[in-house]
Chains A and B, each alone.
Chain A
Amino acid sequence: MENIIETEKAKWEIVVGLEIHCQIISKSKIFSGASTEFGDDPNVNVSFVDAGMPGMLPTLNKECVRQAVKTGLGLNAKINTYSEFSRKNYFYADMPTGYQITQFKYPIVGEGEVVIDLADGKSKKIGIERMHIEQDAGKSIHDLSPNKTYIDLNRAGVGLMEIVTKPDFRSPEEAGAFLRKLRSILRYLGTCDGNMDEGSMRCDVNVSVRPYGSDELRTRCEMKNVNSVKFVMQAIENEAKRQIEVYENNGNVIQETRQFDPSTGQTKVMRKKEFAHDYRYFPEPDLPALVLSEQYIEEIRRDLVELPDAKKQRFINTMGLTPYDAMVICENKDVADFFEKASHNHDAKKVANWMMSDFFAMLNKKKLSIDESPVSAENLGNLVELISKDVISGKIAKEVFEIMAETGDNPEKIVEEKGLKQVTDTKAIEDIIDRVIADNPDNVEAYKKGKTNLLGWFVGQTIKLSQGKANPSIVNQLIRKKLDN
């Protein structure tokens, strides 16, 4: 897909890189034993370490390291056996120590690669520059008091993974596809829950533009903490337009942090970069270097779950799904697991079709997640089996499915109780056809005189009289036989 923005004056290309902060799933914080629980009363999950009390020392959480290595492997990235922590100094009320413990020169994860799926069925590789681990800041609440900001340190010290991509995105859609893919990988791995609206995954967007065909990198602007995939795409689109306008009016883009305003979709200047950012990084004196063994990394690699790309490929290769079906089903691990369970011993392609139509529609309508589905995977599989074996028609199956969605019953029971079994007994069907023919001599006459498109009408009438239970292909065959003789 070519991504060109064409104005009256010139052709432009967007260049975007992303920095994503992902909260690590762990019971306790990265450098203290306080809980990471979200939504508790203010300042309850805070230790003296998190509050920056004098003399307190950080101790690194084993699980946060493991989660970071897992994530690195999921990003097909190089895991660095040697990494170091650094202090990033800045002054802000929600950062009690006056510095953030992070990694700077020697991050735990190096270069990697993520494949994104695009709307036109193509895929593209997005480079990962690095990933490091660090501590989160507390939360500032600005709207509880007219003249004060309230600080809750429950989040201070929760482990974060910061993933930095290469400037490989050329359109808002690519950035959106990447965020969805990243979220999917993190959820498969169980290393971050990926909820952008709750702030457990936060995205900084770096945007610049350049004349189409050029390979220069121009001055970029950064938009911090954009909190949904949709807003990230909107921010890129509008910021690129703004920069193009600046250039086309002979101006220059200034490196600055801009804020994305979801209510207008526009970006506005937040702060100039030169002075505010003087982080004075230096090696963290309280923590020695983190050294991992190759064996430790290999053990984690061996235990890694099957990731969305591999699962997708397997569903295409061995279960007969189209790339599109497989992509939709594999985005969410719970959906993929449900699919696999439902298609066990049944026609997988048909199961996929059911899931992507009636089943998802039902969940949407009832506002349920897949693990709350009233229709179990086994029962959906059984329903598909009933169709495959010609016990019921596709049309009756829809009826049965609706009952399943209400009662949670298994389809065999419903079919049995409601007497919905498809009539494949040719004698019974012939009786009905004879009635249709006897009752509609005019149409029979017209058909015989060459109005052969009336065949469909006869089939319809017959199935209607059978209350939908007559097998359509048998009906079709029998009617032809009778009318054409």
Chain B
Amino acid sequence: MAIDNEMVRKIAFLSRLKIEDNKLEDAKDEFNKIFKWIEELNEIDTSNVSPMASANDVSLKLREDAVTDGNYKDEILKNAPSAEYDYFAVPKVVE
């Protein structure tokens, strides 16, 4: 699979990353190199192997339902670029 400039633009948009037009070529080449490297895996026949969801063959540990966390809004809001009246304040989002 080859990545073109259009695909780089789309990935950048979805990731909320800004890539200047003159950097598109570089990014595209890097993507393609990574893909080529990953494609080496295609040499192995996996037609009889089911997809693996996790490398850890452990079962999921469940937590008891108890309130053990929270109640530190100052710390939660500390790194917010903008907070007002204990809310995060972001540019107006209206659909």
Give residues in A with beta carbon < 8 Å to B. 26-28, 32-35, 41-49, 51, 59-65, 84, 89, 91-93, 140-142, 144-145, 147-153, 259, 270-271, 278, 280, 283, 285, 287-291
CA distance A48 to B76 in the complex (A): 7
Listed from nearest, the 6 A-B pairs whose CB atoms lie closest are A63-B65, A33-B68, A33-B69, A150-B87, A34-B70, A47-B69
- Complex CA gap A205/B12 in Å reads 32
- Which residue from B63, B87, B95 sits with its C-beta under 8 Å from A141? B87
**A80 to nearest B CB, angstroms?**
14
Q: Separation in Å of the B62 CB from the closest CB of chain A? A: 4
- Chain B's interface size range is 35 or more
A44-B70, A44-B73, A283-B54 given as contacts; is B60 within 8 A of A289 (CB)? yes
Most buried by A among B60, B64, B70, B91: B70
> Are B62 and A65 within 8 A (Cβ)?
yes
Residues on A with beta carbons closer than 8 Å to the beta carbon of B76:
43, 46, 48, 51, 153
- Say yes or no: A271-B89 contact (C-beta < 8 A), given A45-B70, A62-B62: no
Complex CA distance for A93 and B88, rounded to whole angstroms: 9
Q: Please indicate which of the listed interface residues A47, A60, A290, A291 has the most CB atoms of chain B within 10 Å of its own CB.
A: A47
CA distance A64 to B61 in the complex (A): 13
B42 interface contact, C-beta 8 A? no
> B75-95 vs A: 1/0 string, CB under 8 Å?
011000010111111111111
11 contacts between A and B (CB under 8 A): A32-B69, A33-B66, A33-B70, A34-B67, A65-B62, A91-B14, A93-B93, A148-B89, A149-B92, A151-B90, A289-B59
Q: Is the CB of B54 within 8 A of A28?
A: no
- Contact of A60 (CB < 8 Å), options: B53, B62, B73, B87: B62
Residue B23 is within 8 A (CB to CB) of chain A in the complex: no
Which residues of A sit under 8 angstroms from B91, Cβ to Cβ?
Answer: 147-149
- B68 near A28: Cβ-Cβ < 8 Å: yes
| Given contacts A44-B71, A271-B95, A61 and B62 within 8 Å (CB-CB) | yes
B16 interface residue per 8 A CB criterion: yes
For the complex formed, measure the closest distance between the CB of A300 and the CB atoms of chain B, giving whole angstroms: 14
Closest Cβ neighbor of B51 among chain A residues = A283
Contacts A62-B65, A89-B14 given: A35-B58 contact, CB under 8 Å? Answer: no
Contacts A34-B69, A278-B14 given; indicate if A150 touches B89 (C-beta within 8 A): yes
- Bound Cα distance from A209 to B73, whole angstroms: 48
Residues of A within 8 A of B92 (CB): 142, 145, 147-149
Tell whether B56 is near chain A: CB-to-CB under 8 Å: yes
Residues of A within 8 A of B89 (CB): 145, 148-151
Q: Give chain B's interface secondary structure class.
A: loop
CA distance A51 to B78 in the complex (A): 11
Which among B56, B73, B94 is the interface contact of A42 at CB below 8 angstroms? B73
Q: SS class of chain A's interface: helix, strand, loop or mixed?
A: loop
Residues on the B chain within 8 Å of A141, using CB = 87
Q: Write the chain A residue with the least CB distance to B87.
A: A150
Contact with B65, one of A26, A145, A149 (Cβ below 8 angstroms): A26
**Residues of chain B whose beta carbon lies under 8 Å from any beta carbon of chain A:** 10, 14, 16, 53-54, 56, 58-71, 73, 76-77, 82, 84-95
- Other A-B contacts than A60-B62, A287-B60, A289-B54, 8 sampled, CB-CB below 8 A, are A142-B94, A149-B94, A151-B88, A278-B14, A288-B54, A288-B56, A288-B59, A288-B60
Known: A65-B62, A142-B93, A290-B60. A35 touches B87 (CB 8 A): no
Q: Which residue of B lies closest to A59 (CB)?
A: B63
Which B residues are in CB contact (< 8 Å) with A65?
62
Cβ-defined contact, A148 with B70, below 8 A:
no
Distance A43 CA – B71 CA, assembled complex (angstroms): 8
Q: Which residue of B lies closest to A89 (CB)?
A: B14
Minimum CB–CB distance for B56 against chain A, Å = 6
A84→B66 contact, CB < 8 A? no
A291 partner, pick from B16, B59, B87, beta carbons under 8 A: B59
**C-alpha gap A151/B81 in the complex (Å):** 13
Residues in chain B near residue A285, CB distance under 8 A: 54
| Chain B minimum-CB-distance residue to A282 | B53
The residues of B that contact A151 with a CB separation of less than 8 Å are 87-90
Complex Cα gap A26–B70 (Å):
15
Contacting residues, chain A, for B93 (C-beta < 8 A)? 92-93, 140, 142, 149
**CB–CB A28/B90 < 8 A:** no
Of chain B, the residue at the smallest CB distance from A141 is B87
B63 adjacent to A33 (CB under 8 Å): yes
Q: Which of B53, B56, B90 has a CB less than 8 Å from the CB of A149?
A: B90
- The reply to whether A28 and B85 contact each other, CB–CB distance below 8 Å, is no
B63:A62 contact, CB within 8 angstroms: yes
> Shortest distance in angstroms between A253's beta carbon and chain B's nearest beta carbon?
21
